[in-house]
Chain A
Amino acid sequence: MEKEKPNSENSVKYIIHKPLAYGKKLYIGEFLAEKFIKLVAFISIAAIFAIFYYVFQEATYAFKSPEKINEYVQKSHLNSNQNTSSDNLKQESYNSNSDNSTSPSTNQEDLKQESYSSNVDQNLKQESYSPTTTEGELKQDTYSSEKDVPKQIVETKNKSKLKKIETSVETPIENLTESDKQAISQRAQILKTSLEETLGEKPITFKEMFSPNDYIDNKPDYVWQPVGNTPKFSFIPLFYGALKVTMIGLVIAAPLAILAAIFTVSFAPKWLKEIIKPAIEILAGFPSVVLGFFCLMTLATVIQEVFHTTYRLNSFVGGIGMALAVIPIIYTVTEDALTAIPRFMSEASLALGASRWQTAWRVLLPSAAPGVFAALILGFGRAFGETMIALMATGNAALVSNNIFESVRTMAATIGAEMAEVEFRGVHYGVLFLIGAILFMVTFSLNALAEFYVRKKLMKRIQGL
């Protein structure tokens, strides 16, 4: 004690303050660090939103006929040298004409988008880089060589040219009578529908996704049959399957995890606590493919022998797999919530003559209830989106049945199983992205709920505000 005193007095002397004055000093290191952090934060947030946007964007292909059909319809259409009133086609023809007006050498029948855009690009480049340009407006706006900018410029700046284009576009359409136009669009529609049907690429609607799409013994049925002449995309069996496996998983995992957490917090001696906690936390990082493999190879056999089930792989086996994946999550979050309850709470209870069990059950758990709820929601989200275990252990048959020993197919597993066989930007492709979007929205809204509602409540309970 006596030795430390002079030291502490000295250390105070080392800090010498400059006299107070106006003027801020710039610390380069700090400045850069701040900028860097901002940049990184921006990039990560942007990445999240980009993915978000992309998934929803791609999901729209479920509701559209595929590009190749549209293209084919247009081509066969324009080959007969007629224009249509369809918006899509109008635009196409407009574009091709715009090409023509600026570069007369282009063939009028050439509808390839690539050639269109490259032509415009070239045109603009020529204009912008040629020193003989007379239009002052153009000069300012043509420094960029990006592809988007030229389009804009074509539209806004070259007004005189645009007028020319418009007149040239409208003339052929005006030559057609109303009935002609109708006949043309009807023909296009019929061609489109028949193409969609023969190729099995009929776009879906939301209503179709959630209403019965098959009848078995006159009973409405929900069928997921993405491949075939008439693909059937009913979401009900997938949603039901995911929910079923998740609920089975949670029903098994929640009591185990919560009791384990209570045990470690209020019963286990210190040394045991120090073993159990990290051990279960390590389990959280267990690759789910290993859990799935275990369920597939070992657990499924055991379950079949014990319960004499018809199917080796079923929602119960999958549910146990989910429980294995989810227990560490629920345990960890619950344990944290219980540990966060101030020590004096349990002391107050014990001092009143409550047993340790009564204290845990009547004081700790209710006080930590919001945290436990958050744990359950996190677990739900994890199980709901879990792919590997579902893929390997549930049997993947899209059945709607209340029997827990029947196979199911979950939403996530469907994406995992079918992603390799879909055609790029076909209807099935869009549907898989739609499943992804729905999965995302379910977990997102659950997490948001946990975040905003539960956390507030927990803080309220602990701080007593």
Chain B
Amino acid sequence: MKNVNIKISTKNLNLYYGTKQALMDITLDIPEKQVTAFIGPSGCGKSTFLRTLNRMNDLIDGVKIDGSVYIDDINIYDKNIDVVQLRKRIGMVFQKSNPFPKSIFDNVAYGPRVNGISERSKLEEIVVESLKRAAIWDEVKDRLKSSALGLSGGQQQRLCIARCLAVNPDIILMDEPASALDPISTSKIEELISELKDNYTIVIVTHNMQQAARVSDFTAFFYIGELIEFDKTKTIFTNPSNKKTEEYITGRFG
């Protein structure tokens, strides 16, 4: 891991849902402007871990977290951190596309608007730019005023990516962004990820080993709340040091 800066760094992170521990002592450094994939069997805590990175778990009743998460060397679980400001810097794309029941334009403009931008020309600029970067502009440019709910699943997911790009985050967290999509939409999103990594630090959760191999630079393997192995994707897929990792990626369990 030379020549790369560390963007996110967790130290001894434990998370409990009530009394049940979901993350165990996780220490991990996520490099800047790279794609990092989280893999692991269902229920191992990938989503939970991802959601600790923008403090979405705060919204769930009974969650207890100890340890620390540093983003740009600032502990985001510090008492003095403004969570709203934090989340503006970290975009999130959910497993199930979740556009607002508003027009396509208003969906993308939502983030800028809550950031206090109300000038129409500025908003338009941001919306067009974001839609273009999310590779959906050509499909929606004639129907910006129509409801986002009328788009197909794959288009909705790319719209959600555009919406998250519109707030100009440094980090994008993606939780199985292509799990509900057909191969064509999936490949579009994968292309998109490769393009975006020049400017953003991307963390992606995926169940698809090929996808992880294709799009990511680094891969972390989780197993029942523990981080088993973290390395360059190439290393993980060709020469894993842990037996569990090998078993998982070769499809022997999970």
Interface residues in chain A, defined as those with a beta carbon under 8 Å from any beta carbon in chain B: 270, 342, 344-345, 347-355, 358, 362-363, 366-367, 461-462, 464-465
Knowing A353-B167, A354-B84, A464-B149, say if A348 contacts B100 (CB, 8 Å). Answer: yes
Complex contacts, B42 vs chain A, CB 8 Å: none
A358 to B87, CA, bound (A): 14
Q: For window 65-109 of chain B, which residues contact chain A by CB distance below 8 Å? A: 84-85, 87-92, 94, 96, 98-102
Kindly supply a per-residue 1/0 record for chain B positions 30-70, scoring 1 wherever the CB is within 8 Å of any chain A CB and 0 otherwise: 00000000000000000000000010100101000000000
Knowing A353-B85, A353-B115, say if A344 contacts B96 (CB, 8 Å). Answer: yes
Asked if A350 and B87 make an inter-chain contact with CB atoms under 8 angstroms apart, the answer reads yes
Closest to A465 in B: B149
Complex contacts, B4 vs chain A, CB 8 Å: none
B163 at the interface (CB under 8 A from A): yes
Asked if B84 and A347 make an inter-chain contact with CB atoms under 8 angstroms apart, the answer reads no
Asked if B111 and A347 make an inter-chain contact with CB atoms under 8 angstroms apart, the answer reads no
Asked if B87 and A353 make an inter-chain contact with CB atoms under 8 angstroms apart, the answer reads yes
Asked if B94 and A352 make an inter-chain contact with CB atoms under 8 angstroms apart, the answer reads no
A363 to B106, CA, bound (A): 11
A397 to chain B, nearest CB (A): 48
B27 at the interface (CB under 8 A from A): no
A298 to chain B, nearest CB (A): 40
A20 to B96, CA, bound (A): 43
Knowing A367-B101, A461-B101, A464-B149, say if A351 contacts B87 (CB, 8 Å). Answer: yes
B164 at the interface (CB under 8 A from A): yes
B105 to chain A, nearest CB (A): 14
How many residues of B sit at the interface, in one of the four size bands? Answer: 20 to 34
Asked if A352 and B56 make an inter-chain contact with CB atoms under 8 angstroms apart, the answer reads no
Asked if B164 and A352 make an inter-chain contact with CB atoms under 8 angstroms apart, the answer reads yes
B21 at the interface (CB under 8 A from A): no
A337 to chain B, nearest CB (A): 13
A405 to B167, CA, bound (A): 51
Complex contacts, A354 vs chain B, CB 8 Å: 84, 110-111, 114
Complex contacts, A363 vs chain B, CB 8 Å: 100
Complex contacts, A462 vs chain B, CB 8 Å: 101
Knowing A344-B94, A354-B114, A362-B114, say if A349 contacts B100 (CB, 8 Å). Answer: yes
- Judged by DSSP, the binding face of A is helix
A363 to B111, CA, bound (A): 12
Asked if B98 and A345 make an inter-chain contact with CB atoms under 8 angstroms apart, the answer reads yes
Kindly supply a per-residue 1/0 record for chain B positions 191-232, scoring 1 wherever the CB is within 8 Å of any chain A CB and 0 otherwise: 000000000000000000000000000000000000000000
Closest to B96 in A: A344
Complex contacts, B111 vs chain A, CB 8 Å: 352-354
Asked if A355 and B84 make an inter-chain contact with CB atoms under 8 angstroms apart, the answer reads yes
Complex contacts, B115 vs chain A, CB 8 Å: 353
B48 to chain A, nearest CB (A): 14
Complex contacts, B98 vs chain A, CB 8 Å: 342, 344-345, 347-348
B186 at the interface (CB under 8 A from A): no
Question: Considering the complex of A and B, which 3 residue pairs feature the smallest CB-CB distances, nearest first?
Answer: A464-B149, A353-B88, A351-B92
Complex contacts, A351 vs chain B, CB 8 Å: 54, 56, 87, 90-92, 94, 164
Asked if A358 and B114 make an inter-chain contact with CB atoms under 8 angstroms apart, the answer reads yes
Closest to A359 in B: B114
B147 at the interface (CB under 8 A from A): yes
Q: For window 165-179 of chain B, which residues contact chain A by CB distance below 8 Å? A: 167
Closest to A464 in B: B149
28 A-B residue pairings within 8 Å (CB atoms)? A342-B98, A344-B96, A347-B56, A347-B94, A348-B98, A348-B163, A350-B59, A351-B56, A351-B87, A352-B91, A352-B111, A352-B114, A352-B163, A353-B87, A353-B115, A353-B167, A354-B111, A354-B114, A355-B84, A355-B114, A362-B110, A362-B113, A362-B114, A366-B102, A367-B100, A367-B101, A461-B101, A465-B149
B6 to chain A, nearest CB (A): 23
A354 to B111, CA, bound (A): 7
B117 to chain A, nearest CB (A): 12
A329 to B100, CA, bound (A): 28
